[in-house]
Structure 1
Amino acid sequence: MILQSLVLLLLTAIAPVFAETGIDAWLRYAPLSSSVTRGHLNSFPNHIVALNATKDGPLSSAASELQKGIKGILGLNLGVSSSQKSCSAQKTIVVSTLDSYKSACGKLPPKLDLIQDGYWLSTKGESVQIIGQNERGALYGAFQYLSLLGQGNFSQVAFASNPSAPIRWSNQWDNLNAGTAAHGSIERGYGGVSIFFENGYVKKDLSRVPLYGRLLASVGLNGIVINNVNADATLLNETNLEGVKRIADLFRPWGVQVGISLNFASPQVLGELDTFDPLDETVIKWWTDKSNRIYELVPDFAGYLVKANSEGQPGPLTYNRTLSQGANLFAKAIEPHGGIVVFRAFVYDQLNETDWKADRANAAVEFFKDLDGQFDSNVLVQIKFGPIDFQVREPPSPLFVNIPKTPVSIELEVTQEYLGQQCHLVYLPPLWQTILGFDMRANGRQSYIRDIVTGKTFNHKLSGYAGVINIGMNDTWIGSHLAMSNMFAFGRLAWNPQADSQDIVEEWTRLTFGLNRDVVSAIVSMSMKSWPAYEDYSGNLGIQTLTDILYTHYGANPASQDNNGWGQWTRADSKTIGMDRTVSNGTGNAGQYAKDVAHMFEYTQTTPDDLMLWFHHVPYTFKLHSGKTVIQHFYDAHYAGSATAQTFPTTWKSLEGQIDAERYKEVLYRLTYQAGHSLVWRDAISEFYRNLSSIPDQLNRVRNHPHRIEAEAMDLSDFTIVDVDPTECASKYKAIATNGTGTATTKLNVPSGKYNVAVNYYDVMGGIANYEVLLNGKSVGTWKGDSENYLGHDYSSFLDCHSAIRITFEGVKIKKGDTLTIKGTGNALEQAAIDYVSILPQGVVD
Structure 2
Amino acid sequence: MSPGGFASGGDVTGVHPAWLPPEAMRPIGARTVSVHGDGLDTVRAEVRQACDRHGGAVVAGGADLVLTLSGVDTGPDGFVVSRDGVVTTVAAEDPAGLLYGLFHVARVGEAAFGAPHPPGTHRPAHGRRMLDHWDNVDVHPVMGQVERGYSGGSLFWDGGALRADLTRVTAYARLLAACGVNAVTVNNVNVHATETLLLTDRLADIATIADLLRPYHIRMHLAVNFAAPVADLGTADPLDARVQAWWATATDGVYAAIPDFGGYVVKADSEGQPGPYGYGRDHADGANALAAALAPHGGVVHWRAFVYDHRQDWRDRTTDRARAAYEHFAPLDGRFLGNVIVQVKHGPIDFQVREPVSPLIAAMPATDVAVEVQVTQEYTGQQRHVCYLAPMWSEVLRTIRTAGPVGVSNAGDDPFWTGHPLAQANLYAFGRLAWAPDLDPREVLDEWIGLTFPGTPDVVGETLHAVMDDSWRTYEDYTAPLGVGFMVRPGHHYGPDVDGYEYTPWGTYHFADRDGVGVDRTCATGTGFTGQYPPVLARLYESVHDCPDELLLFFHHVPYGHVLHDGGTVIQHIYDTHFAGADAVAAMRDRWAALPADLVGPAFAARVADLLDEQVRGAAEWRDQITAYFFRKSGVRDAHGRRIP
TM band (smaller chain): over 0.9
**Matching of residue 688 in structure 1 with residue 624 in structure 2:** no
Work out which of the residue numbers 560, 580, 592 in structure 2 matches 1:620: 560
Counterpart of 1:532 in structure 2 is 473
Work out which of the residue numbers 622, 630, 638 in structure 1 matches 2:578: 638
**Matching of residue 334 in structure 1 with residue 275 in structure 2:** no
Counterpart of 2:460 in structure 1 is 519
Counterpart of 1:126 in structure 2 is 86
Counterpart of 1:65 in structure 2 is 46
**Matching of residue 137 in structure 1 with residue 116 in structure 2:** no
Work out which of the residue numbers 214, 229, 234 in structure 2 matches 1:267: 229
Distance 1:236 1:298, change over 3 A: farther
Q: CA deviation at 1:185?
A: 0.6
Counterpart of 1:597 in structure 2 is 537
Q: C-alpha deviations, 1:415-467, integer Å up to 9, x for none?
A: 10000011100000111122234xxxxxxxxxx32x2x1xxxxxxxxx11101
Q: C-alpha deviations, 1:714-734, integer Å up to 9, x for none?
A: xxxxxxxxxxxxxxxxxx6xx
Q: Is the 8 A contact 1:258 1:301 kept in 2?
A: yes
Indicate the SS of the match to 1:167.
coil
Indicate the SS of the match to 2:66.
strand
- What letter matches 1:207 in structure 2? T
**Matching of residue 388 in structure 1 with residue 339 in structure 2:** no
Q: Is the 8 A contact 2:376 2:382 kept in 1?
A: yes
- How many residue pairs match? The answer is 630
Q: CA deviation at 1:672?
A: 2.1
For 1:465 and 1:543, how far apart are their aligned partners in 2? 25
Q: CA deviation at 1:199?
A: 3.1
Indicate the SS of the match to 1:266.
coil
For 1:179 and 1:572, how far apart are their aligned partners in 2? 36
Counting helix residues as a fraction of each chain, which structure ranks higher? 2
Distance 1:651 1:70, change over 3 A: farther
Counterpart of 1:109 in structure 2 is none
For 2:144 and 2:493, how far apart are their aligned partners in 1? 21
Counterpart of 1:217 in structure 2 is 177
Q: Is the 8 A contact 2:5 2:452 kept in 1?
A: no
Q: C-alpha deviations, 1:502-529, integer Å up to 9, x for none?
A: 0000110011123421101110222112
Q: C-alpha deviations, 1:40-79, integer Å up to 9, x for none?
A: 99xx642332422x2xxxx22122212333554xx22423
Select the structure of larger CA radius of gyration: 1
- What letter matches 1:501 in structure 2? P
Work out which of the residue numbers 357, 361, 368 in structure 1 matches 2:329: 368
Work out which of the residue numbers 372, 376, 397 in structure 2 matches 1:415: 376
Q: C-alpha deviations, 1:665-701, integer Å up to 9, x for none?
A: 1111111221222111111111111112221111121
For 1:282 and 1:608, how far apart are their aligned partners in 2? 52
Greater CA deviation, 277-286 or 418-427? 277-286
Q: CA deviation at 1:206?
A: 1.9
**Matching of residue 49 in structure 1 with residue 49 in structure 2:** no
For 2:463 and 2:533, how far apart are their aligned partners in 1? 40
**Matching of residue 243 in structure 1 with residue 205 in structure 2:** yes
Q: Is the 8 A contact 2:563 2:570 kept in 1?
A: yes
Q: Give runs of aligned pairs for residues 271-286 of structure 1, distance below 5 A.
A: 271-286=231-246
Gaps of at least 5 residues in structure 2 are: 9-14
- Identity level (%): 38
Work out which of the residue numbers 57, 82, 91 in structure 2 matches 1:78: 57
Counterpart of 1:172 in structure 2 is 133
Work out which of the residue numbers 237, 241, 252 in structure 1 matches 2:214: 252
Work out which of the residue numbers 406, 409, 413 in structure 1 matches 2:367: 406
Counterpart of 1:322 in structure 2 is 282
Indicate the SS of the match to 1:177.
strand
Counterpart of 2:12 in structure 1 is none
Work out which of the residue numbers 155, 158, 174 in structure 1 matches 2:114: 155
Work out which of the residue numbers 488, 491, 508 in structure 2 matches 1:568: 508
Q: Is the 8 A contact 2:3 2:601 kept in 1?
A: yes
Q: C-alpha deviations, 1:580-627, integer Å up to 9, x for none?
A: 010000011111000011001001111011111111001111111111
Indicate the SS of the match to 2:232.
coil
Work out which of the residue numbers 591, 596, 599 in structure 2 matches 1:651: 591
Counterpart of 2:7 in structure 1 is 21
For 1:581 and 1:569, how far apart are their aligned partners in 2? 12
For 1:464 and 1:668, how far apart are their aligned partners in 2? 36
Q: C-alpha deviations, 1:66-105, integer Å up to 9, x for none?
A: 2333554xx224236xx5xxxxx422433233xxx24xxx
Q: Give runs of aligned pairs for residues 710-789 of structure 1, distance below 5 A.
A: none
For 2:328 and 2:302, how far apart are their aligned partners in 1? 16
Distance 1:290 1:580, change over 3 A: same
Indicate the SS of the match to 1:587.
coil
Q: CA deviation at 1:201?
A: 3.1
Indicate the SS of the match to 1:264.
coil
Q: C-alpha deviations, 1:762-803, integer Å up to 9, x for none?
A: xxxxxxxxxxxxxxxxxxxxxxxxxxxxxxxxxxxxxxxxxx
Distance 1:494 1:17, change over 3 A: closer
Distance 1:641 1:153, change over 3 A: farther
Counterpart of 1:200 in structure 2 is 160
Q: Is the 8 A contact 2:487 2:501 kept in 1?
A: yes
For 1:603 and 1:70, how far apart are their aligned partners in 2? 62
- What letter matches 1:51 in structure 2? G
RCO comparison, higher one (Cα < 8 Å, 6+) = 2
- What letter matches 2:344 in structure 1? I
Counting strand residues as a fraction of each chain, which structure ranks higher? 1
For 1:204 and 1:695, how far apart are their aligned partners in 2? 60
For 1:624 and 1:469, how far apart are their aligned partners in 2? 36
Work out which of the residue numbers 268, 273, 277 in structure 2 matches 1:308: 268
Distance 1:368 1:243, change over 3 A: same
